[in-house]
Structure 1
Amino acid sequence: MNNISVIMIAHNKKEIIKSQIEQLSSIHNISMDSITIVDNHSSDNLCDFLVSQSRLNYIICDDKIENYSLILNTCISEFVNTQNDILILDPDSFLLPETLKKLSCALNPDNGIYAVCPQNILDISNDIHSFSAALNYVNNNDVSKINLFKIIKPEINTILLSHKLLSEHTLFDSEIISDELCLTDFCINNILNDQFTYMADNVYQYYIGNHNSYYSPTNRNCDLAYIRQKWHMNYINTIPSSNLISMINEPIDKELNVLEIGCDCGATLLAIQALYPNSTLYGIEINPISAEIASHIASVKTANIEESVDLWNDIKFDYILFGDVLEHLRNPSKVIHNCRHILKKKGKIISSIPNLMHFTVLHELINGSFHYTDTGLLDKTHIHFFTYNEIIRMYEENDFNVINTIASNVTPMLSKKDSEFIDALTKLSSHKNDMLFKAFQYITLAEIKDT
């Protein structure tokens, strides 16, 4: 494929890089001189291998681990033909046969498709544990039909970019050090120009990594501080809430009005649109920058929901979503009450709410600690706390029936000490239900009672 340039940035991935080069050449017909490898301060002699290659483009960062964004910009300016599309390939991501060809065909800047990425085949089957098993899956299943759906950013740092995208706008923000936040920032900027990244289903990569960046916590903290300054957000949420979405059980062609309160940048609304293409999406977000990003996905208003939730004249909703929002409110019960007036008959509220009864909180509490943190159960921005019973009471007092509740993020493996502590708590309690101490949060589906 002569119109694609490949960039891989690697740290201690010598053997994997060898395999990648061989597969890019033999399976995807990429010429060696279209591949650029960056050895980002490896200690496994990757640099010696690169030097021995006659046709590869390469950069060796031998003094320290270098800034990911700056590396990308350098590779693009030094080695990429301006008419070539660019594949940024995570070294741990192996593209299955036809994947690169399909991604290239999917790119269509004239129709607004400037960036595409494949699915991780491990996300669709628990039976795939090797590249050969992934090949068997592709060979034995119909993967000819390709659907594209918008995402905020790829979960894995593999993405094919149209050369038109990079010619029309500035490149990657060279102030950002780490790979994850570099691509997050890049994709968010593109959304503001209505240039979304698209996930292609039935187009697969086989990912052997663990999503852990080799960049140090210090580098990540520097990036987070920079992101806060640039975007006025503590973090940029790019991952949709699968817990909230799983509570929507409707025919895929049904026309739904869905409102997400506290919609952030719109990742969950975007995922709902992919599943229910006839849905009409709305959002309320207190952060004006997040709301501006989400407004490219849905009809979004910047507002404080404790003042009003009735912001659209004559529109009634099938679903209202609260993803980790109610615990931040001074009077969450009043907000739930106000939602009754903008829901359709049999309208539903879906919420995810942290559980104050989690054993880790109680362990600290009986030892005299109630220490607020930046994130988690005792997030310092939480001003209202819930247990399972308090969640049920809040809904019932506002004339909702709770029709489903799921305990979420239950720790699968507990230490002997933690198990003994939970057992002791359960024996002391009147309910005798150890799950009330294990659930990190509750996902709740509540429906308006018949009147």
Structure 2
Amino acid sequence: MISIIILSHNENDTQSCINNIENNLIESINEIVIVKGNSDINYKSEKINIININDKNLFSYSFSKFANIGIKNTSKNNDILILNDNCYIVENTLENLEKALYSSENVGIATPVSNIGPFYHYQSLNLPFESLQSFIDYTKDKVNYKQSDNELRLRTSFLTVLIKRCVLDEISLLDEIFISTDFASDDFCLRALKQGYKTLLCNNSFIYIKGDLYYNIGYLDKNKFKNKWGFDPLYSLSIRTEILDKLSIDSSSAVNILEIGCACGSTLLKLKEIYKECNLYGFDINKESTDIAKHIDNANIQCADIENDDISLEENKFDLVILLDVLEHLKDPWELMKKVKKSLKKDGQIIISLPNIMHISIVNSLIQGNWDYQESGILDRTHLRFFTLKSIKEMFQSIDCNMIYYFSIYSRISSEEENLINLLSTQYNLDKNQLMSYQYIITNKTL
């Protein structure tokens, strides 16, 4: 059975949310708990339990605290669906979420696709729907449940989430040190993972979020998370989606994939969805990250310093080798590229990403006599080597990869930088694209 917890912020939204749920009820739902501040909501129903919080500091309550109050007031054997009152479910959403949650014994968390959401969780459509009805029209041919459409994730955002009761029994409630939905979600998913429970994104289940995202306060919790887990979730748990359309290896064949600098393994897990028959290998220097990546089924993950530890790469083994934001951190990236090339099969693919030191922001600063290291970005203080497009091409040529393909990733530029680009490109015949490219993705093969 399922208890629905509605986190109430606005009386009208809450009323609409309840009406929406009652139009989509399934037999396994036998309880609705509304957690709210002191207001006039007094909905009459045998299934509805209203938890009224009388606290003058209510404004300081986090997503986690609201959700935990609701969980504590549900029937002790029920699974839990947490829903903000500005979220509206569409046809088959609840049925499909429940099917996904029970598609395997070791699945403990299931979340739907939303119309909007944080970009780094990759579970929202981010399309400009004018209304709930336009969203329903868009999704109506996508709501037929297929287990094969479910997608394993290391984390999802709990904009709406269905959680097995046994997960809560084993790992306890959401951690209330986190204010934002997203960091609390990440923390819960990882704690569940370490207890053997997986998280699924159900791609046949949809919610519509009206207005703003509640509790998504961004980076306030970043240091708390890093102190608890030992890595930055915005980097180490991200899926590097920018490489997915660059893959040239046949997805129907059995392949060996190596990622050097795999972090927590989110990109490897995504590749496992694409390449159903694959063997995954990964190296990363961060032990806390690799401890997470080791929970990916059939993945050979090692915590190692790829440059200083005694690591040997088997020759002619890999179909795909990925190095994303790695080479700039090494003393001798050219030597590692030689090892990578030897480990690659004859028709194998290498994909790397590197920041572009020729980006106009760096040129502009240098003209003014500045070379200021930062916590992140092109002048990240941990970078040891710096590359232009020309030097990247030369590195590939040094390992006998003469045919390469490059793709630019751009960043926002100021009007001052735009003027400087026009001046330099005219005065010195410089390629504008090389001044505008913040980062390059380079590969030896293309579709």
Q: Same fold (TM over 0.5)?
A: yes
2:70 to 47, 53, 75: 75
Aligned 1:151-166 pairs, distance under 5 A = 151-155=153-157, 157-166=159-168
Matches within 5 A, 1:373-384: 373-384=374-385
CA gap of 1:444–1:10, structure 2 versus 1, over 3 A, is: farther
Deviation at 1:309, TM superposition (A): 8.1
> Is 1:225 matched up with 2:223?
yes
Q: Distance in 2 between matches of 1:227 and 1:142?
A: 35
Q: Contact 2:64/2:175 (CA < 8 Å) preserved in 1?
A: yes
1:241-288 deviation digits (Å, cap 9, x = unpaired): 011222213333211111111101010001111111111111001111
CA–CA distance in 2 between the matches of 1:111 and 1:440? 44
The answer (yes or no) to whether the contact 2:6–2:32 under 8 Å persists in 1 is: no
Query: Cα distance, 1:7 vs. partner?
Result: 2.6
Cα displacement (A) at 1:27: 2.7
Distance in structure 1 (CA, Å) of the matches to 2:211 and 2:154:
21
Query: For the residues of structure 1 that align with 2:293 and 2:70, how far apart are their CA atoms?
Result: 31
After superposition, the Cα gap between the structure-2 partners of 1:213 and 1:73, relative to the gap in structure 1 and judged at 3 Å, is closer
Query: What residue in structure 2 maps to residue 185 of structure 1?
Result: 187
1:97 equivalent in alignment to 2:94: no
Q: 1:140 to 1:186 in 2, by over 3 A?
A: closer
Counterpart of 2:248, as a letter, is N
Tell me how far apart the structure 2 counterparts of residues 379 and 8 of structure 1 sit (CA, whole Å).
Answer: 42
Residue 155 of structure 1 deviates from its aligned partner by 4.0
Is contact 1:349-1:446 (8 Å) kept?
Answer: yes
Deviation digits for residues 272-314 of structure 1, max 9, x if unmatched? 1111111111100111111111011121011111136854657
Distance 1:312 1:335 in 2: 10
The one-letter code sitting in structure 1 at the alignment partner of 2:345 is: K
- What's the CA shift string for 1:339-360, capped at 9, x where partnerless? 1221111222111111122222
| Cα separation, 2, equivalents of 1:138 and 1:224 | 34
Q: 1:195 to 1:393 in 2, by over 3 A?
A: same
Checking the alignment, whether the CA contact within 8 Å between 2:226 and 2:233 is kept in structure 1 is yes
Task: Assess if the C-alpha contact under 8 Å between 1:33 and 1:57 holds in 2.
Answer: no
User: Residue 100 of structure 2 is aligned with which of 97, 106, 112?
Assistant: 106
Is 1:22 the equivalent of 2:19? yes
**SS state of the match for residue 37, structure 1?**
strand
The one of 158, 163, 177 equivalent to 1:175 is 177
Deviation at 1:98, TM superposition (A): 0.7
In the alignment, structure 1 residue 369 sits paired with structure 2 residue 370: yes
Shift in CA distance, 380/89, structure 1 to aligned 2, threshold 3 Å: farther
Report the counterpart of residue 245 of structure 1 in structure 2. Answer: 244
Q: How far off is 1:71 after superposition?
A: 3.2
Q: Which stretches of structure 1, 4 residues or more, deviate above 6 A after TM superposition?
A: none
The amino acid that maps onto 1:161 is: I
Q: In 2, distance between residues paired with 1:315 and 1:300? A: 19
Which residue of 2 is the match for residue 57 of structure 1?
Answer: 50
CA distance in structure 2 between the partners assigned to 1:292 and 1:19 by the alignment: 43
**Displacement after TM superposition at 1:315 (Å):** 7.1
Whether 1:130 and 2:134 are equivalent positions in the alignment is no
Task: Please give the alpha-carbon distance, in whole angstroms, between the structure 1 residues aligned to 2:240 and 2:211.
Answer: 23
Which structure 1 segments of 5+ residues have no match? Answer: 40-46
- Structure 2 regions of 5+ residues with no counterpart? 117-123
Q: One-letter code of the match for 2:182?
A: E
Match in the other structure for 1:345: 346
The one-character-per-residue Cα deviations of 1:187-231 (angstroms, maximum 9, x if unpaired) are 1112222211011122222344565845486xx1xx333323222
> Counterparts of 1:184 and 1:362 in 2: how far apart (Å)?
37
Conservation of the 8 A alpha-carbon contact between 1:115 and 1:198: yes
Rounded to whole Å, the distance in 2 between the matches of 1:278 and 1:264 is: 22
TM-score by length of 2: 0.86
Quick check: 2:35–2:51 contact (8 Å CA) kept in 1? yes
Distance in 1 between residues matched to 2:359 and 2:308, nearest whole Å: 31
Q: State how far apart, in whole Å, the 2-side matches of 1:98 and 1:296 are.
A: 31
Q: Which amino acid aligns with 1:446?
A: N
Match of 2:120 in 1: none
Q: Distance in 2 between matches of 1:210 and 1:355?
A: 35
RMSD: 2.8
Who is 1:426 aligned against? 425
Conserved? CA contact 1:400–1:447, under 8 Å = no
In 1, are the aligned partners of 2:421 and 2:435 still within 8 Å (CA)?
yes
In the other structure, the counterpart of 2:317 is 316
Tell me: CA distance 1:372–1:49, structure 2 relative to 1, closer, same or farther (3 Å). farther
CA distance, structure 2, for counterparts of residue 359 and residue 437 of structure 1: 5
State how far apart, in whole Å, the 2-side matches of 1:402 and 1:21 are.
Answer: 59
Distance 1:426 1:19, change over 3 A: farther
SS in 2 for 1:48: coil
CA distance in structure 2 between the aligned counterparts of 1:409 and 1:210, rounded to whole angstroms: 27
**2:329/2:384 contact within 8 Å kept:** yes
Contact 1:244–1:323 (CA<8 Å) still a contact in 2? no
Structure 1 SS opposite 2:444: strand
- The alpha carbon displacement at 1:402 in A equals 4.3
**Contact 2:408–2:437 (8 Å) recurs in 1:** yes
Match of 1:254? 253
Q: 1:168 to 1:305 in 2, by over 3 A?
A: same
Kept in 2, the 8 Å contact 1:89–1:157? The answer is yes
| In structure 2, C-alpha distance between the alignment counterparts of 1:304 and 1:67, rounded to whole Å | 39
Partner residue in 2 for 1:42: none
Kindly state the Cα deviation for residue 108 of structure 1 after the two structures are TM-superposed.
2.0
- Give, in whole Å, the separation in 2 of the partners of 1:195 and 1:92: 28
CA contact (8 A) 1:151 1:196 kept: yes
1:247 corresponds to which letter in structure 2? K
The CA distance in 1 between the partners of 2:256 and 2:183, in whole Å, is 32
In structure 2, C-alpha distance between the alignment counterparts of 1:441 and 1:70, rounded to whole Å: 40
Letter in 2 for 1:293: I
For 1:384 and 1:351, locate their aligned partners in 2 and report how far apart those are by CA, in whole Å: 15
